[in-house]
Chains A and B, each alone.
Chain A
Amino acid sequence: MSLERSIVKLSAALRAKEVSSVELTRRYLERIERHGELNAFINVDRERALAQARSADERIASGKVGPLTGIPLAHKDIFCTDGMLTTCGSKILANFVAPYDATVIERFNAAGAVILGKTNMDEFAMGSSTENSYFGPVRNPWDRDAVPGGSSGGSAAAVAAGLAPAATGTDTGGSIRQPAAFCGITGLKPSYGRVSRYGMIAFASSLDQGGILTPSAEDAAVLLNVMAGFDPRDSTSVDRPVPDYSAQLDHGIKGVTIGLPREFFGEGLGAEVGLAVEAAIDEYKNLGCEVVDINMPNCSLAVPCYYVLAPAEASSNLARYDGVRYGYRAPEYTDLTDMYKKTRSQGFGTEVKRRILIGTYALSAGYYDAYYLQALKLRRLIAEDFRRAFESCDVIVGPTTPTTAFALGAKVDDPVAMYLNDIYTIPVNLAGLPGVSVPAGFDSAGHPIGLQIIGQYFDEGRILNVAHCYQQATDWHKRIPNGFE
């Protein structure tokens, strides 16, 4: 029996009692175990998952059913889960059992979803390949020698391989959309402030946003309905009504204007990716959309801008991992300063240390104006590019990444090449806009290609609608990697 991928259909099956949550949960737990070689999970709690599934079945039996009741989910190991190990992919938190639930976890628990386990990730979400995890790299289900993208690589691989119906992720510069593209699934990063960051371990607070990786835009809408909303515990979450995202999916997109940023189709874009994106644009034309060229003159500076701001915030956010109160502490030290030095030197990986150093430097007296303040100005210019672009279009469409999944180890020694993976996704974070990546084909190596759809502030409904209509017309999102049927 092949695995049903659609959450909407799984939910219907649960409600019709064709399958129980316990059966479903067992099935995913078995698949997780069988495909351990992907290394998609850091921690799986069978007993807890089955207990949650049993209580979901009771709810179903009593008729108290929501769209997610009994649906097993995987969570990126960046979300604190009460009583569960929450490592953020780091040695420094390898022993940290969170004593509270992140708001996102709380909301999914309240909706009756089951926690299968915590997915692997780049340490502190810093990376584009999930090779920066203390728990080892994740493999791409489409090609075990290729990376799944990152930092939410564990979540992306798990959903693509059918180890979980859907998974949460976080996106600071592309960490949901890029792995979704690399693994041939749908990845939604909502607008900054749409989803609470409370309990989501901070990398760069002004950019981090929780989201989801799902088989389709339709499923993303179901999950976003639960996840989105104001949280008084997060002062940056926005108090704005949450529409029913599922209700907007089938709205016609005839007459919708799609903006194509010329800068996203220039040098650096892989030929096969470019062709696939053009084919997708043709598809939109067939669906009745209008296509216009737009200019994003400042977006070429997004990567350097990001690599000042994100490390600056990270250098401060990660100061709390000092070995004093929780987490890893070096076993031997001579005094307080030595304890700090050894704990942090041993506890953090190379990329995290690199970014702490960059960020510390950028905020230092004498450099602050030249780096941090300049980057803030650039960030405003980039947001302004988008504002102007949206005067002439409803959504912006382009490639999610310049290339498809690359080989494991190919870019580990070249951080700048690694950073350039996020050239099309980073501007969206800097502007705080919602973006979704949907599968739009494969390259000659059989690696999936992602199409990015960017919307205006809090226009998640529109981009999911535009993504859904594309998925109604194509079947790229239904392709399953060999061996994971």
Chain B
Amino acid sequence: MRWEPVIGLEVHIQLLTQSKIFSGESTRYGAEPNMQACAVDIALPGVLPVMNKEAVRMAVKFGLAVGAQINHRSVFARKNYFYPDLPKGYQISQYELPIVSRGHIDIEYDGAIKTIGITRAHLEEDAGKSLHEDFHGLTGIDLNRAGTPLLEIVSEPDMRSAQEAVSYLKKLHALVRYLQICDGNMQEGSFRCDANVSVRPRGQTELGTRSELKNINSFRFVEKAIKFEIERQIDVLEGGGTVVQETRLYDPGKDETRSMRSKEEAHDYRYFPDPDLPPLEFDESFVKAVKQTLPELPDAKRDRFMSQYGLNAYDAGVLTTAREMADYYEEVVSASGADPKLVANWVTGELSGYLNKDNREIADSAVSSTALAGMIKRIADSTISGKIAKEVLDAMWNGEGDADAVIEKRGLKQITDMSAIEKVVDEVLAANPVQVEQHASGEQKVFGYFVGQVMKATSGKANPKQVNEILEKKLRS
């Protein structure tokens, strides 16, 4: 292919503070319109902003987690433009001196590790929402969201495909949730992505003209929007045209991007330092205190899972994508005392299946880590087989109680009495003389048939290991 795509992402994350970035109003999502908008949020005459220290802590936490430079002095600036849901007529943001600069995130793509640079991350306030439905030709303004703290994370143009962009975005998404600075909810707009996309002839160092794709709010749409945009730009260039610098909107319904405004129509935001807020300054001890609160980060946790629990890279990766999942896994390992690999199989396999089916997060799992540990213990001590365990888990998921209760109630306890199993084996062999003949003449595969028949006769409760041993002994004799 002649063309090389170049992609950079700007991600806005809503910080999980209790109150807004410059006022004491609550940031809770979902209140009635304008019920969470105080005098400062609606920009009454005379009000002034006061910086929320918790938002600063969260920004520093992020900076530390991506190995960035933490700027002990940063400056808030006003970004001026008129819009009905922007109450002051300007957004307080950071411009020339952001709180975080020059970090990086490593992504894994096609088995290789690639480092994506983070240019900067800066604090700013969110705007309100314009509601165009239900107002009969008028626009409703909801200022509940106005003043919600945002951290805008700007990457370097280091990505070369839509898939890489999605890998980066997923990594970032996992990270901010690990740090507990953002709930990552894309539907509610807590994690929003804009993409800068350009293409250039392979081998060229200068960047091509870029377009900015606005508000693409799911991983899938990010991938589709960028793919579409890359192809669109290549088509334009191959048709002899030129790409114009513009802002484009992705329409998921039509799976296409379309022009929103051109460079000429772009706002002149007239940034200048906000005279209402002194420069944001803190010392190294503040940064150190934040550092103390850093959790184990996804990459470090994955490596530890591999070395400590002997998991393969894939399982360790899946289990550490979300902090809650990793915590759940470790709780089960510790409470069950079972083989960590066995636990990993149950968590990434059966349990994840149920979670996906019911569209639940691990935190809302119908089977708690303690309950799952109780069940795995029963596999480990041979009370039930792995196969029976699936039935037990299903019952547990549907609220029939803990593993022991289910095993008891349904009579699923494994048969480990040698003589009892031997009796069933004898019956099965006696009932199948043809197959016994076949086995004797060297057809090994009928062995499985016998196992199946024994399990069937015991409703799956016979200890499979013992069944195998006894069958082998009997057929050899």
Contacts and interface: CB of A to CB of B under 8 A. Distances in A.
User: A and B: partners?
Assistant: yes
Interface string B44-77: 1111111100000000000000000000000000
A372 B272 contact: yes
Contact of A340 (B42, B43, B82): B82
A371 B382 CA distance: 82
A83 interface: no
Interface string A350-362: 0000000000100
B33 to A, nearest CB: 13
B45 A88 contact: yes
26 contacts: A79-B46, A80-B46, A88-B45, A98-B46, A99-B44, A100-B44, A197-B46, A198-B47, A202-B276, A204-B275, A206-B275, A233-B50, A235-B277, A235-B278, A236-B275, A313-B275, A315-B80, A316-B78, A316-B89, A316-B272, A321-B45, A325-B42, A325-B141, A363-B80, A364-B268, A368-B272
A198 B44 CA distance: 11
A85 B273 CA distance: 31
B44 A98 contact: yes
B90 interface: yes
B84 A202 contact: no
Nearest to A204: B275
Contacts of A340: 82
B141 A312 contact: no
Interface in B136-170: 139, 141
A16 interface: no
Most A CB within 10 A of own CB, among B51, B89, B268, B270: B270
A236 B278 contact: yes
A315 B80 CA distance: 9
Nearest to A199: B46
A233 to B, nearest CB: 6
B208 interface: no
B87 A325 contact: yes
Contacts of A333: none
A199 to B, nearest CB: 4
Interface in A202-237: 202, 204-206, 232-236
Shortest beta-carbon contacts, A-B, top 8 = A319-B89, A206-B275, A205-B275, A363-B270, A199-B46, A201-B45, A320-B43, A80-B46
A211 B65 CA distance: 47
A444 B40 CA distance: 50
Contacts of A364: 268, 270
Contacts of A360: 270
B105 to A, nearest CB: 32
B440 interface: no
B276 to A, nearest CB: 5
A232 B50 contact: yes
Contacts of B278: 235-236
Contacts of B87: 320, 324-325
Most A CB within 10 A of own CB, among B44, B46, B88: B46
Nearest to A124: B45
Interface in A350-406: 360, 363-365, 368, 372
A319 B39 contact: no
A378 to B, nearest CB: 16
B45 A93 contact: yes
A159 to B, nearest CB: 23
Most A CB within 10 A of own CB, among B51, B78, B88, B275: B275
Contacts of B80: 315-316, 319, 363
Contact of A197 (B43, B48, B89): B48
A433 interface: no
Most B CB within 10 A of own CB, among A235, A360, A364: A235
A315 B272 CA distance: 11
Q: Is the interface of A mostly helix, strand, loop or mixed?
A: loop
Interface in B342-369: none
Contact of A319 (B49, B82, B272): B82
Contacts of B276: 202, 205, 235-236
Nearest to A237: B48
Contacts of B47: 198-199
Given A235-B276, A364-B268, A322 B82 contact: yes
Contacts of A336: 84, 139
Contacts of B43: 320, 325
B132 to A, nearest CB: 12
A96 B84 contact: no
Contact of A98 (B42, B45, B50, B268): B45
Given A202-B46, A236-B276, 8 more contacts: A98-B44, A100-B39, A199-B47, A201-B45, A232-B50, A235-B278, A316-B90, A363-B271
B19 to A, nearest CB: 14
Nearest to A363: B270
A319 B268 contact: no
A372 B270 CA distance: 11
Nearest to B49: A235
B223 to A, nearest CB: 34
B84 A324 contact: yes
Interface string B13-41: 00000000000000000000000000100
Given A205-B275, A316-B89, A320-B88, A96 B45 contact: yes
A235 B45 contact: no
A313 B77 CA distance: 12
Interface in A178-206: 197-202, 204-206
Interface in B266-307: 268, 270-272, 275-278
Nearest to B43: A320
A313 B277 CA distance: 13
Interface string A33-56: 000000000000000000000000
A21 interface: no
A137 to B, nearest CB: 23
Most A CB within 10 A of own CB, among B45, B46, B48, B268: B45
Nearest to B85: A324
Contact of B89 (A98, A236, A320): A320
A437 interface: no
Most A CB within 10 A of own CB, among B78, B82, B90: B82
Contacts of A99: 39, 44
A368 B90 CA distance: 17
Nearest to A232: B50
Nearest to A344: B82
Contacts of B45: 80, 86, 88, 93, 96, 98, 201-202, 320-321
B453 to A, nearest CB: 78
Nearest to B45: A201
A198 B268 CA distance: 29
A102 interface: yes
A96 B46 CA distance: 12
A484 interface: no
B24 to A, nearest CB: 10
Contact of B48 (A100, A198, A324, A368): A198
Nearest to A309: B275
Contacts of B271: 363
A378 B476 CA distance: 103
Given A316-B78, A316-B270, A363-B80, A201 B277 contact: no
A312 B272 CA distance: 9
